[in-house]
Amino acid sequence: MTEHTFGDYVLDGRRRTLRRGEEEIHLGERSFGVLELLVENAGRVVGRQELIDAVWHDVAVSDDSLARAVSDLRSALGDDSSQPRFIRTVHRRGYLFVARLTPIEDTLPQALPDMRPRRRPIRIVLLLTAVGVLLLATAATVRWLDHRSGNLADSSLPEFNEWRLRALGPSPFTASAFKPAFAKTSNLLSVVAPDPHTDAHSIFLLRPDGGEPLQLTRNMEVRGPTPEFTADDSAIVFTRFRTDTKLGLVPDVWRLPLPAGSPSLLVKNASAASTSPDGRRLVYAAVTPTGTSIRIRNQDGRELEIAEHGFWPRWSPDGSWIAFTTSDPEGGEGNIHVVRPDGSGHRVLTNNPSQHYGLCWTPDSSRVIFASKSGGPTTLWSVDVAGGVPGSVTRGPGICTSPTMSADGRRLVFSYSHRRWHLFLASSADEAARRILVTPGVQAAALSPDGSRVALAEGAEGQSPAVSVIDVDTMERRTVSGMAASSLAWMPDGESLLVAAPAPDRKNDWIWQMGIGGGLPEPIMEGGAHWRSPSASPDGSMVAALRRAVNGWELVVRHLDRAEDRVVAQRSVIEAPRWSPDGRFLAWSGSQRPEDVDSGGVWTCESSGGTPRRVALDGAWPVWERGGGHLLFGRFLHHRGIWRVSMDGGSPELVRAMDSEMDGLYLEGLDTGRGCAPILFNLARYTVELYVLEPPEEM
- HEC string of 590-629 equals CCCCHHHCCCCCEEEEECCCCCCEEEECCCEEEEECCCCC
Band the pLDDT of 119: cuts 50, 70, 90.
Answer: very low
Please state which CATH number belongs to domain 429-677.
2.130.10.10
Task: Average the pLDDT over each of 163-177, 194-208, 276-290 and give the range with the smallest value.
Answer: 163-177
User: Cα torsion at 222, 224, 229, 235 (round to 10°)?
Assistant: -40
How far is 45 from 568, CA to CA, in rounded Å? 46
Taking each continuous run of H as one helix and of E as one strand, the counts in the chain are 4, 54
How much is the pLDDT for 657? 81
Q: In 198-263, where do the E strands start and end?
A: 201-206, 214-215, 223-229, 235-244, 248-257
Give pTM, 2 decimals.
0.61
For the chain, what percent of residues have pLDDT higher than 70? Answer: 85
**In this structure, are residues 230 and 209 in contact, taking their beta carbons and an 8 Å threshold?**
no
Extended beta strands in 407-476, E state: 412-426, 434-440, 442-447, 453-458, 466-471
Query: Which tops the pLDDT comparison, 696 or 410?
Result: 410
Band the pLDDT of 30: cuts 50, 70, 90: confident
Q: Closest Cα to residue 327, out of 310, 314, 348, 313?
A: 310
**Angstrom distance (rounded) from CA 275 to CA 179:** 18
Q: For residue 139, give the 3-state DSSP assignment.
A: helix
The count of other CB atoms within 10 Å of the CB of residue 542 is 20
Asked if the model's pLDDT at residue 110 lies above 60, the reply is no
Predicted pLDDT of residue 318: 95
Instruction: List the single range of 96-100, 428-432, 633-637 with lowest mean pLDDT.
Output: 633-637
> Residue 344: pLDDT above 90?
yes
3-state helix, strand, coil in the chain (%, to 5): 10, 45, 45
**Most confidently modeled of 4-13, 58-67, 266-275, 568-577?**
266-275
At 698, is the pLDDT very low, low, confident or very high (cuts 50, 70, 90)?
very low
Q: Are strands 94-97 and 17-20 parallel, antiparallel or unpaired?
A: unpaired
Q: What is the mean pLDDT of residues 557-579?
A: 89
Choose between 329 and 266: higher pLDDT.
Answer: 266
Q: State the pLDDT confidence band at 117, using cuts at 50, 70 and 90.
A: very low
Q: Which of 482, 325, 513, 496 is nearest to 401 (CA)?
A: 325
| 49 has pLDDT over 80 | no
Higher pLDDT, 23 or 475: 475
Q: Which of 361, 368, 357, 349 is nearest to 409 (CA)?
A: 361
146-176 confidence digits (pLDDT tens):
333 322 223 334 466 678 888 887 676 777 7
Query: What was the pLDDT predicted at 368?
Result: 97
Measured in degrees and rounded to the nearest 5, phi and psi for residue 226 equal -55, 130
For the cut 90, the answer to whether the pLDDT of residue 405 exceeds it is: yes
pLDDT (0 to 100) of residue 41: 80
Mean pLDDT of the chain: 82
Residue 506 pLDDT: 79
Predicted confidence band of residue 120 (pLDDT cuts 50, 70, 90): very low
pLDDT the model gives residue 122:
25
pLDDT at residue 423, as a whole number:
92
Average pLDDT, stretch 259-286? Answer: 94
Residue 389 is predicted with a pLDDT of 86
Worst-scoring range by mean pLDDT, 120-134, 348-362, 405-419, 481-495?
120-134
Residue 550, pLDDT > 90, answer: no
Query: What's the pLDDT band for 177 if we cut at 50, 70, 90?
Result: confident
Lowest mean pLDDT: which of 1-10, 80-89, 122-131? 122-131
DSSP designation for 111: S
Q: How confident is the model at residue 420 (pLDDT cuts 50, 70, 90)?
A: confident
C-beta separation of 62 from 178 below 8 A? yes
Domain ranges across the chain? 3-105, 128-149+157-417+689-694, 429-677
502-535 confidence digits (pLDDT tens): 898 878 899 999 999 878 899 999 888 899 999 9
Residue 329 has pLDDT above 90, yes or no: no
User: Tell me, what's the pLDDT at 173?
Assistant: 75
Closest CA to 348 of 291, 309, 297: 309
Classify domain 128-149+157-417+689-694 at the CATH topology level. Neuraminidase (2.120.10)
Q: How far is CA 66 from CA 52, 330, 332, in A?
A: 7, 11, 17
Fold of 3-105: Arc Repressor Mutant, subunit A (1.10.10)
The tens digit of pLDDT for each residue in 619-663 reads: 889 999 888 889 999 887 556 788 999 988 888 999 888 776 676
Rounded mean pLDDT, 73-90: 85
pLDDT score of 696: 73
376 confidence band (pLDDT: 50, 70, 90): low
pLDDT in tens, 360-371: 999 999 999 999
Residue 413 binned pLDDT confidence (cut-offs 50, 70, 90): very high
Amino acid making up residue 277: P
**Position 374 confidence tier, pLDDT thresholds 50, 70, 90:** confident
How much is the pLDDT for 309? 93
Residues 658-691 have pLDDT tens digits of 776 676 677 888 999 876 678 999 888 777 788 8
Per-residue model confidence (pLDDT) at position 596: 54
Q: What is the pLDDT of residue 105?
A: 38
User: Using alpha carbons only, what angle is made at residue 592 by residues 454 and 623, rounded to the nearest 5 degrees?
Assistant: 35
DSSP code at position 675: T
- Give me the pLDDT at residue 675, please: 63
